[in-house]
Structure 1
């Protein structure tokens, strides 16, 4: 495969990843600006609307897709390194991401200078997954890592049928690694640690991505790669539809006929993200692989815009959170709320009162403005990183 072909492959990954990052920003804008974000569940089919459900549902594609693409990128970045060098980098970057989660991202979430709650969310899962992947890279082949990843993805829902004593040590360990839907543990200083993302199911997705990275080696023909991605994506999507229709294994939340066809439709697609069920993963990663296949040669204007964000995912992730929360703070204080109301100890996120917010149309407008505002900063940073090969830039 020529150098141009290699660049094309990287461009296609950046394009899809950029689209994912843009969609991700919608969910975070909704969290801070939608009127019912902290008072109602957008996936509760008894109270939600079709467009509100879709607004939340479409963002389900973001976290698992980012995990899988990170696995592919880890494989590609290791092509010119030894296994030990690749392993060392992944482990160090994993710990770095966990540190960033505990410090910079926890503050971005809450704007709470006391760090009363430490949030362990997507960067925590990403960091732990990189550490586990780094360990496996030292002694396992990409094919073996792919198999391990698939075992985790297809097998972890077996624990849905295992019952242990609530809040026992085993229960806590299982919740952190496999089964938790949001586990909050007290700290010795009076605060809490919130384990919002479990470890192993997400690690399985990243490991699978690492194994899929072999499709992007120089000796793999582009047409064969596109066909493999397309066929695999279709198979995963059909498997999701079949398993979901059977309403058995693969997700602890079963669907059920409702009093309207819309609600029944929503019930069918309302699968579990916390932790990511097998059906959640199939539903999101099947279409992702199809998208990778179809965008292999994309060079239109939209693909170029998405790739700007896709080349600097960490930079975009960090800056968009701080931008959104800062805009929330400014809007709340300028809307008549007092500092006391904005900093109320009961608030999950500071400067985000429970009764604050706008309709969904306004949320979409703010989302577009946030994404547009970060286009040129992302473009600048992407070009800066391309010009400078300083070691620390590889951690960003």
Structure 2
């Protein structure tokens, strides 16, 4: 197995392939990650995937890829999403502390004594963190088991196993506190180290918090087990009734008809709302009702009453009938009058009376419109003329 040459190569590799690793980690429980999907996240470069496989970052299994267990455990522990509870690690750390305390007390060399002390402080820090994380994992696993496990027997068995792990964590906490407060007093008297004192204080705070959580977890497990037991009995009775019903002996061997006859539950019927409006006669004759109305009115007198805004009167100018006239140019009429002349079309339009003011540009537009619309009735010459900078062909009637 090839390994990374140094930490820089490891970090740079994880950085370069962060998209692929993040995607595989997020889907570590959902699906088998296909090689074809992974190749798209590395820019279709198979060498990059082969490099990760050779460095044991990922594994290939039948066309699918998965993160190596070593890296997967590392990511889950760092991100605190590991559901597996490994309590043997705490017990092992306690043993390592006892061994290094013995080495510390027997050693005369200050350098080696400091190395033992440094290891002890590091291990105490790990015990606090691991214990707290284990308690959180136990609580999370209890919730997931009770809510998601469909098999009642497996659900009960898993909860009982988690309760055993809870007991084990509790014993490890007691064992750790005994180590500090009773078993190794000589070491703590000799090791006059301020950092060690802070580590011990922080760890005790974490262990105390874990102890409180373990009490709540114990109550939760007991409650869940009681619910499972109750639900199991109910389902067992329901199965017996179904068995008797399927064999047509339910009425003969049970008193179900008598039990149902005594039940008069109407939970599935619609609730009819009853009006509670007081009659006017009752309000008028009863003085107490009038006093209640006045008291309620006093409590609501500060409420802002919004007055509707009334629109202003419409001006008479908007109601007057205004007639707007516009003279439209009839191109067909202009064409008919032009066909009766012998002048060219451009001169004819320039001199034509349109009964309104028409400027030069608009007359040029009319010339173009008539030429294009009535092309078959007109004769376009090859000669051209220019007027006001506009060059036009000579157009005559056919």
Shorter-chain TM-score range: under 0.3
Q: TM-score, normalised by structure 2?
A: 0.23
Higher strand share: 2
Whose radius of gyration is greater, 1 or 2?
2
